[in-house]
Structure 1
Amino acid sequence: MVSVIIPVYNDEKYLMNCVNSVLNQTYQNLEVILINDGSTDRSAALCEQLRTQDSRVRILHKPNGGVGDSRNAGLAMATGELLAFVDNDDRMEPTNLAELVDLLERCQADIAIGNFYEFGEADQTFYFRVREEDYYEKVYTPAEWFAEEYNMHFNLSQCFTVPWGKVYKRELFDQIAYPNDRAVEDDLTTWQVYLLADRIAFMNKPLNMHRKRASSVTQETNQANVYPLEAIEQRVTMMALLGMDITEELKAYRWRLKVHRDELLKSGSTNLVKYKNVVQRLRILEKAARKKPSD
């Protein structure tokens, strides 16, 4: 069985469409876990309506704690051998779970990943990033999959970071906890799950519709909140300890440091200590980059 976890917060406009796209999957051996995170609109009532319509729907109503807290609550409730996540304004293609479960089993993988397409609310346009002729499958080791982290081709970079668009073996999450005090909890967590896997299978086929909204956290003016330093510092440390190549990670770390430096300057932040710490780390990395091998 696949446990599909959907954090819900004030999304009455899209919730029914999202949940029905899961309930109407060609793969029917599933449970849908709705975590109502203190919604103040009609989302709670819609969750209850969905439960009366389908016995596979389970609900937890809780005080608002953020999407990370909701994912943790869903993980605690899950009873399936496999897990999947969906954002409450996104939509699964009808064969999503069937194709990913099949890919997982055929490749003897621990995680099966599919691509996605995007719908922009601003211009009401669907963006199909993957064509039928672009289809391929590939099985990665964790180190090989990490090499795709900053690959923008076919939007692999976002496929790497987000928790949705995947089917996972449940045991990978036995000791995983999403942070409940961060807006971009996926950047701090998803990569850890990959390191617990042995085989990661990828299918270059758009199996999810991702809704791009103006209110999304990734559209925030303050990009320092979108690209936290803590996430990349943890990755660099763990990858270095495991003997993995951190060349691209260090490039990304320098870029994030510059983002944080610029945001602190732009906001006129009075946190001089934080600004100096960011600039000092940049200077250390830039000095190391200038050094010749003979040095």
Structure 2
Amino acid sequence: MEKVSVIVPVFNAGIYLKQCLDSILDQTYQNIELILVNDGSTDGSASVCEAYRQKDSRVKLVNKAIGGGGVGAARNTALPLVSGDYVLFVDNDDWLEPNHIEYLYQSLKETDADIAVVNFTQFMEETNSFAFHLQAQDYFRQIFSPQEWFKKEYESRFSISQCFTVPWCKLYKAALLDGIVYPEDEKVEDDYTTWKIYLKAERIVYSNTSLYYHRKRQTSVTKTVEISSVFPLKSIEERIAVLSLIGFDIEPELRAYRWRLNLHKDFYLKTGRMQDYQKCMQKISILEKWKR
């Protein structure tokens, strides 16, 4: 059995951490290493991580001397420690179905793919309820080239757009992460990074089944940061540049870019950031002149 390296950035995960770690260590696929990067937690998460390290030899623990680097910095710390053939990311307050890793691994092997992707179920912390967007009859499995997979990037049905963007609910061949650097100066880092890993792959297999539980809390990053950070302009500008250079269809990106420009424009005007507002207006006026 090949080894799977599971990376979990940890920061003040509180009561959710044990459920997360148990769901990983109790997987039906047991040949794993669990790399925990404790980013200066002050709520007891560090002691939980240390307890798991002591009781399970598969657990590696890094306690960062200077915390507050964010999820991107934690992932960058973990990647050089990977000794597995494959890499899986899990957020520290989420949890997995028991066969999550086994299913992804078998999908890769059966299809000779480089990345396997599954869907997720959202758990709403405030109401203690699940938001299901898949039913049994919605299941399908499909193999994509990177060009074909990018056509799914903005598909809202079954939340495929979110599946495309997030780093979790995926199993990557470890070699694809060579040279990948997560931004450490951005509040939301996945929009800058995940798409680059797809471009290093040859085949991507997607299964429309839910095997990951994503917890939504009022303190979640996407709930607490400003909208301009959740849908950044810089990341999509970089994506348009790279995709156009390698000959991909960029029309969906251009439509998304216009949408983000208007989103930023309205946000900057509302919050009084007039210089940023004017920059958006300048770009919008150029696009309108040239009908893009």
TM-score bucket of the superposed structures, by smaller chain = over 0.9
| Pairwise CA distance, 1:169 | 0.3
Corresponding residue for 2:235? 231
> C-alpha separation between the residues in 2 aligned to 1:82 and 1:75?
11
Q: 1:201 maps to which residue?
A: 205
Does the CA-based 8 Å contact 2:187-2:225 persist in structure 1? no
Give the whole-Å Cα distance in 2 for the aligned partners of 1:134 and 1:266: 40
Question: What secondary structure does 1:248 align onto?
Answer: helix
- Report deviation, 1:233: 0.4
1:268 alignment counterpart:
272
Tell me which of 10, 13, 17 is aligned to 1:8.
Answer: 10
Matching residue's letter, 2:154: Y
- Decide which of 117, 120, 123 is 2:127's aligned counterpart: 123
Do 1:12 and 1:46's aligned partners in 2 also have CA atoms closer than 8 Å? no
User: Structure 1: any 5+ residue segments left out of the alignment?
Assistant: 291-295
CA shift for structure 1 position 221? 6.3
Secondary structure at 2:249 match in 1:
coil
Superposition pairs of residues 98-113 of structure 1, within 5 angstroms: 98-113=102-117
* Letter matched to residue 225 of structure 1: S
- The whole-number CA distance in structure 2 between the counterparts of 1:165 and 1:222 is 25
Q: Quote how far apart the aligned CAs of 1:289 are.
A: 2.1
Distance in 1 between the 2:215 and 2:158 partners?
17
1:191-246 deviations in Å (ceiling 9; x for gaps): 00000000000111101000011111212362112111111001101111111111
Are residues 1:180 and 2:184 paired? yes
Q: Percent identity, aligned pairs only?
A: 49
The amino acid across from 1:219 in the alignment is K
Question: Residue in 2 aligned with 1:51?
Answer: 53
Q: Distance in 2 between matches of 1:195 and 1:243?
A: 12
TM-score by length of 2: 0.96
Question: Residue type matched to 2:282 in 1?
Answer: Q
Task: Pick from 167, 192, 196 the counterpart of residue 192 of structure 1.
Answer: 196
1:225-281 CA-partner distances (Å, limit 9, x unpaired): 2111111001101111111111111111011111111111111125x2x33221111
Aligned equivalents of 1:265, 1:15: Cα separation in 2:
39
Q: Give the residue type in structure 2 aligned to 1:36.
A: N
Q: Distance in 2 between matches of 1:76 and 1:186?
A: 19
Residue 288 of structure 1 and its aligned partner are, at CA, apart by 2.2
Give the whole-Å Cα distance in 1 for the aligned partners of 2:187 and 2:169. Answer: 19
Matched, 1:137 2:152: no
| Inter-partner Cα distance in structure 2 for 1:266 and 1:90 | 34
Residue 76 of structure 1 and its aligned partner are, at CA, apart by 1.2
Partner-residue secondary structure (3-state), 1:249: helix
Query: What is the aligned counterpart of 1:96 among 83, 92, 100?
Result: 100
RMSD: 1.1
Code of the aligned partner of 2:28: T
Q: Which runs of 5+ in 2 are unaligned?
A: none
TM-score under structure 1 normalisation? Answer: 0.95
Q: Secondary structure at the match of 1:4?
A: strand
Question: Could you tell me whether the CA contact under 8 Å between 1:31 and 1:57 is conserved in 2?
Answer: yes
Partner residue of 2:290?
288
Task: Indicate the SS of the match to 1:236.
Answer: helix
Task: Quote the Cα distance in structure 2 between the aligned partners of 1:220 and 1:242.
Answer: 36
Aligned length: 288
Q: 1:101 to 1:213 in 2, by over 3 A?
A: same
Which residue is equivalent to 1:17? 19
Deviations 1:155-185 (A, max 9, x none): 1000000000000000101110000011111
2:104–2:118 contact (8 Å) kept in structure 1:
yes
Local SS of the residue matching 2:237: helix
Query: Does the 8 A contact of 1:220 with 1:226 survive in 2?
Result: no
Offset of residue 67 of structure 1: 0.4
1:78-89 aligned at under 5 Å gives the runs 78-89=82-93
